[in-house]
Structures are given as structure tokens and as C-alpha cells.
Amino acid sequence: MMKDSAVQWIWWRGVSLGLSLLVLATGCRPRETQIQQAAREGIMIVGNGAEPPDLDPQTITGIPERNVVMTLFEGLTRNDPETLEARPGVAERWDVSADGLVYTFHLRAEAKWSDGTPLTARDFYESFKRQLTPSLASSNADNMYDVVNAERYHKGTLTDFTQVGFRVIDDRTLEVRLSHPAGFLLKTMASRTWYPVPLHVMVRHGDPYRQGSRWTRPENLVGNGPFVLKEWQPNRHIEVRKSPTYWNRDTVKLEGVRFIPLESQTAEEAAFRAGQLHKTEQVPLTKIAVYQTEAPEKLHVHPYSGVYYFNFNVKRAPFTDKRVRQALAMAVDRGSLVRNVTKGGEIPAYHFTPEGIGGYVSRARTKLDFDEARRLLAEAGFPGGRGLPPITLLYNTAENHRVIAEALQQKWREELGIELKLENQEWKVYLDTVDNGDYVMSRQGLIMEPYDPSQFLKVFTSSGGFNRTGWSNDEYDRLYNEVMATADDAVRQELMQRMEAILTDEMPILPVYYYTSRFLMDQSVQGWKMNLLAMGPYEQVWLQ
């Protein structure tokens, strides 16, 4: 009896121990992360910087908005994901006249809006008319100024849109006539300025020719891109899902993308480490060295077609005096800044236009010269910074911008006796403040298609949509018009040199460095392609 009981006891202890070990093993299994859960549904989760103010492709100006809009719309052309060369989009092919002035686009028969409505040449015509309509007040309209009479219509000196260089030949054929050859046109037509917008939807939600209607809300938005807008919870996420009507839908591998607005780069990096993001928009400067050492496979640093700079409001003291602007520009040690502060492989910018685009390298350069900076300040009436009231530098909320601003603040105090006050605003408020010219000095970044150096220099023409400085120069404008009127590359290069010399002397801006794109990405993301615009098209990505 006792023996049998002992055997039973030993047997039960064995079973109990086995069950305990099973429970223990199950409890120790790594918990599935948020990105793993999303991956099972085919959803990629990405950090997207700030909350977009809108998703109207014709009026948005920021990168967070662009990242979402490029999934929802498609132009006549698309950029190759690596080379950025023009590839067929809604237009399956095009013809160009021998003189380079007339482009004829042939649209795909299967092109549709996401509500199933056929997408026609008339949709593009009406969209381009909207882009150029003065009441829309779009900052992007000047990207169409190469088209015959586009500038005149946008500025209101021409009211008959039929005189602008767009013509509908039939439902599937659109003609575009230029006032001068523009070899970069097909590449730049892949940008948001040239996306079609659904006028047949907009008219139900207010005046299509003014900003601010509700047509971009999830329940209303109709696009023509590889994804459709499913959900927009402000300050939480924007989610897009694979479009069932996109002409090339069979090649789209992701089921969707979830964009998370995280202005704090520290919070974004923490979310990435916690398995809540497949990809970040940025990397905190303090974390770059850490990832280079501990997880280099997750850190991506690539050249980026853009320049980080500061606007001077030349209509406000003390920047009404160019000597003050020149002094501050000469007192920035850009080399030290990128080596010791930003640490992301950026290139110091001693002039505005990045070097090497189309073989262009500016001769004009801003030198580092503290003595000359002090002399210019004294000549302007502020010896040693005395008599100069504190200058407020405005930047949008992000740790990287704050660190750079603090570096300038310290250096200018030490070398020039200038007090710099720092003010940060969240993205949408900051955009409004800068657009309205309600600042003295502001942080700015320009990401520009690297197709022609003239497109960078165009920004500071009097009619430039992104010229927020209040500065204009008749000779600069005249030179730009000459650049666009000639096809002789040697002549164009020399004219652009003269433009850059004026810009560098007048100094309405303070270039700091040329960007690199820095982000973190989980190794489960496959098919991501890097290019100079940091646009890895989501329709070509999949999750391992």
C-alpha cells in the first residue's frame, strides 16, 4: 500500500513538474511586438515627424504631408525609386517635339479614381487650372511657370485659362506647351504639384479654388494612387490601405501603411526600440554614434537633395541691414557644427545650391571670419553687439533643431556679443508663422528635386513660392529669366554663377549644411530603395 502510494506520488510530481516547466516556457516566450502584429496584416508602421496640416497635394509644403500624399496620388510620370529618372505613371507614354517645347501625354485606359470614376486628360487639365488659380494661393504654383502663360494666369494678369499651355486633345491625350525648353520637366512632373485632384468630389465640400475644405477627410478623399485613405485620427495616426482601383495594384505588396506623428525624435527612437515602428523619420543626434556601434544594420544614412538654412526677415530690424546678415553668416563654423553637433555626414554649406547638380559648383562662398563679422557689426552700429536687441530665432519643435540653435546661440554670444533667443512652435503653427512673415529669423529646410540647379535658385526670385524672406532683387530675377530662356549649358552655368553671387552677397538666408537622410529601419522591411529625395515608394515595399 505504502509502496503504491509512493509510486503514485512520484508519478504526480513528474506530471506537475512537466506542467510547471511548460507554463514557465510559455511565459518566457518573447511577447509579439506591435510591428510584428501589424506585419501579419501587411501593415507597415512608420514615424512621420509632425502632424500634417492637410493632405491637399496642390497646397501642402512639408515633408510629413508629402510622405502621406505620395501614397494617395500619382502624376503623369513617376520617379525611378533609385535614379529619379522619369518613368510612366498615369501616362503610359509621351512624345516630345523636336524643339523641346511640346509634350504630348497618352494616358492609360485603365487609370481610375479610387471611387471607380475614369481618370481622364480633362481631370489633369482642370487640376492644373486649380493649381494656378490665384484664389487657391498655392506656394507650389511657380513649379508650373515653364508652361506658356502659366505665370501670367497665376498672377492674375491673364484670366482666360485657354491661353495657358494645356490642351485636352481627347479623354486619353493631354498636350503641354512650354515657353522654353526644360529638360527636367518629365522628372519634376512626378512631384505633388502635378498630381491630379478630384474636382468632381471637391465641389461637394466647398469652393474647390480655396484652401481648407473637408474634401481631404477620410470619408471624402478620393485619389488615384496605390493606396486610399482609411483613417485619420489627428495626432495619433494616419492609415492608408491598398487601393482596389489603382492601375498597377497587382504589384503592390503592402496591405497598408500607418503614419505616426512624432515630433519628438527621442520619443520616436524609443518607440522604434520598443518594436512600435518599422521605420523612423529621423534619428536623434545623440543616438547616431550608439547605433553605429551597437546596431549599424538598423541605421541608414544617405545623401539627400536639400539644404538646411535660416531665413532672415529683411523687412524687420536688424536684418534690414545686410551687414548684420553677413556678419552672422560669417560667424558660423559649419565644419565644426557637422563634425561635433549633427554628426550625420552632412556637408557644410557655404552657398545655397548643393554642388554637383548638372555639373554646377558655385564660385561664390561665405567665408568663416569672426574678425570680419565683428567689423561688419561695428560698421552697422553694433560694436561688440552693443545696442543690438536680442534676436529671436524661430524653429519647429524637434530636438535636432534645438541643438543646432543652441550651438549658434553660444557661438554668437562668445564671438559677437549677440544674444539669441530661441522660440519653438509645433509644426502647423510654425508653418503659419513663417508663411505670414511674422518672425525675425527662422529655421528653414528645403528639399528640392535634384534635376537642375536653376530650381534651387528659383526659390529666391521675387515670385518664388518658398521665398519667405521678404527679399527681392530685380537683377536676380532678370538673370533667372535669362537662365530659363537659353538652352546653351555654358551660358546657363555662367548666369547661375551670377545669381549665386548676388544671393551670397545680399544674404537673405544663412545656409548651414546640405542634408543627409538619417533614419532607423527594422530589418523586416524589404524592397526599400534610397534616392536623393528620401522617397522609398511604399508600393514597392514588403515585410519579411
Structural domains of the chain, count = 2
Question: Which CATH number characterizes residue 88's domain?
Answer: 3.90.76.10
Q: What is the pLDDT of residue 8?
A: 35
Q: What is the pLDDT of residue 21?
A: 35
Task: Give the separation between CA 466 and CA 508, rounded to whole angstroms.
Answer: 13
Eight-class DSSP state of 354: P
Q: What is the pLDDT of residue 19?
A: 36
Residue 114 sits in the same domain as residue 246:
yes
Residue 351 sits in the same domain as residue 363:
yes
Q: What is the pLDDT of residue 450?
A: 84
In this prediction the pTM is 0.84
Pairing of strands 227-233, 542-543: unpaired
Q: Which residues of the chain have pLDDT under 70?
A: 1-30
Q: Residue 277 falls within a domain, yes or no?
A: no
CB-count exposure of residue 253 (10 Å: 0-12, 13-18, 19+): middle
Peptide bond just before 318 cis, omega within 30 deg: yes
Residue 223 sits in the same domain as residue 126:
yes
Residue 142 sits in the same domain as residue 67:
yes
Residue 115 sits in the same domain as residue 197:
yes
Residue 486 sits in the same domain as residue 531:
no
Q: Residue 291 falls within a domain, yes or no?
A: no
Q: Residue 285 falls within a domain, yes or no?
A: no
Q: Residue 156 falls within a domain, yes or no?
A: yes
Q: What is the 3-state secondary structure (H, E, C) of 142-182?
A: HHHCCECCHHHHHCCCCCCHHHCCEEEEECCEEEEEECCCC
Q: What is the pLDDT of residue 215?
A: 97
Residue 246 sits in the same domain as residue 338:
no
Residue 240 sits in the same domain as residue 387:
no
Q: What is the pLDDT of residue 29?
A: 55
Q: How many CB atoms sit inside 10 A of residue 212's CB?
A: 11
Q: Is 513 in contact with 346 (CB distance < 8 Å)?
A: yes
Residue 392 sits in the same domain as residue 477:
yes
Residue 483 sits in the same domain as residue 528:
no
Question: Which CATH number characterizes residue 400's domain?
Answer: 3.10.105.10
Task: Give the separation between CA 159 and CA 168, rounded to whole angstroms.
Answer: 19
Q: Residue 534 belongs to what domain range?
A: 47-253+521-543
Q: What is the pLDDT of residue 487?
A: 83
Q: Residue 507 falls within a domain, yes or no?
A: yes
Q: Residue 12 falls within a domain, yes or no?
A: no
CB-count exposure of residue 34 (10 Å: 0-12, 13-18, 19+): middle
Q: Residue 512 falls within a domain, yes or no?
A: yes
Nearest to 145 by CA among 471, 448, 480, 501: 480
Pairing of strands 227-233, 43-47: unpaired
Q: What is the pLDDT of residue 27?
A: 47
Q: Is 431 in contact with 61 (CB distance < 8 Å)?
A: yes
Residue 229 sits in the same domain as residue 311:
no
Residue 64 sits in the same domain as residue 190:
yes
Pairing of strands 441-447, 391-396: parallel
Q: Residue 38 falls within a domain, yes or no?
A: no
Write b or e for each residue in 381-391: b if 16 or more Cβ atoms lie within 10 A of its Cβ, otherwise e. Answer: ebeebeebeeb
Q: What is the pLDDT of residue 30?
A: 65
